[in-house]
Chain A
């Protein structure tokens, strides 16, 4: 009995040791990969931040209006953000290959999927940034034009344009990363459609008179520009 127990324990111990001998190098390998990965990611992050600093990336975004958004959201500056993003992407890549080295089933497939996903992610981010910039630019143009033309709903008009462009950019970005394509498309179509419909209804019903007056002024009345009635400012 005792004998048996002992032999069993011995066998278990031997198994455990064998397993350990099998597993330890892999663990070590994984740790090394993680360590190297971290180092590489950190170096690349530093380089990216430095390069973005040189090209005055922050100022660039600032000009595009995205920077202000970040500031308002309490986020770190744009070059910090991009640096961190790059860091995590690289670090995650190494982590996955580390798991693969550990011999965990499915890790390999995960790693390849991930690698295939990265460029899409970058494009999506680019689309998003460009969308923000465009949205902001159009918002300014529309707002200023509307205010200076004394259109009462200037702010609403500006915001509408801005939201539309951002939503469109978001949809494009999501599609790019391949997330529930049909859902996004449908949702976007519904959103756009309802906005248009609402606008049409609003214009048709509520603004009937305004619309009529507008058309009359534009098409029928002799050209009479606003703002010219007063004395000369020059």
Chain B
């Protein structure tokens, strides 16, 4: 059957770390053999596409985002052959696979950088950005301000400063150099030929530098990206997907969709903190505001929505007042704060409240966009904020209550990161095996949720969204509509039962059918439609005209 070229608009994505997912060879580190063995679990869960965090050889000083060889698989994760097998098996189960494309920078261990620093005349010298002073591009913000002092770092071997927007061991590539662009395209092609379905492209706003600018979102950067997309479409017309990571306001991300000829998808960063804020405030205002501030995107483009990911819950896209509120409410423990964010997983953020976890997931899967789930959140895994950097949310997947949580047969001391073992979220309590046994577990709920969403995938992925404005501000309600199909989503953001009167005038005559249980609700009339909701309760009501 022909694949819909817009499949990514209907898909549910699942982000995972090969290292933390499943260990197939018993060395304490997750690998492709282990991941391949767990593909049935992912297919059964009901996700459509996997997004793998970096898997190339790397000194692992930034969790793999410091790449030392673009065409290889990190030996700890297996071989290229293992990866090929994994891809085949995933495709056989109808799962697509996105991998990381870290193109802004390399590791300082990368042979290119080693060659470049060795001599000023090296042909690779111009592959990076060098300067004799550290005064260039003043005023460009420092992203990792907890660890870095400047975007310039002195390299004693090269005898010059090199430019880096992230860690000082991650020199930025010089995209003014056509050789660099060509090489990146050849690398993309290498993975696409293997069968990868697309890339999540890391740190796209920072590719080029120009004096007197913020060095972010430059027109020249867009040119490079459009050029890559053009090459992609020439080689694989309507087959592959590019997903931009641009941690910006939606109106600043919008140019990355261009006229549908740059990125297919981009993450919607500011929605995520506002979902949490709305829940805490018991008020729909933040969510409605940010969604209405979100510009329309060209038809083939799509927003990627997420609740949590492998990074901290970033609070860059909120006001200072909002950030203080978020910190006070969600990160009372200063240890939970990192940079401008909160490094916690979904369930601990929501204080382990199952109802709120269900509600936020139901929102994620019914708002307009393609949802991204983060591995482990489907069983309500906890985190370990005493681990450094963002490692606390990257602990091994908890498969069972048994030895090493079923993650690895290695000596427990050799696991790449300690298992979460606290009494609340520890693997003896929270694990896949136990939750698979029960129809009332979070995992069972997530499967149901994903199954229902898949029935209406086109509507939720592509349909229009219109917010209703009932007087009760604790109720967030919206109408999703596509090609004559209508779903009304009503959610109670508060911890108390609520009644709400919805004005559904133009939907008069519709018969609401609740999508999870199939129950009928009274027909919509011209009078306000009264619904009552349990604490943190929600309805997905399909409106039918029969």
Direct contact of A and B (CB under 8 A): no
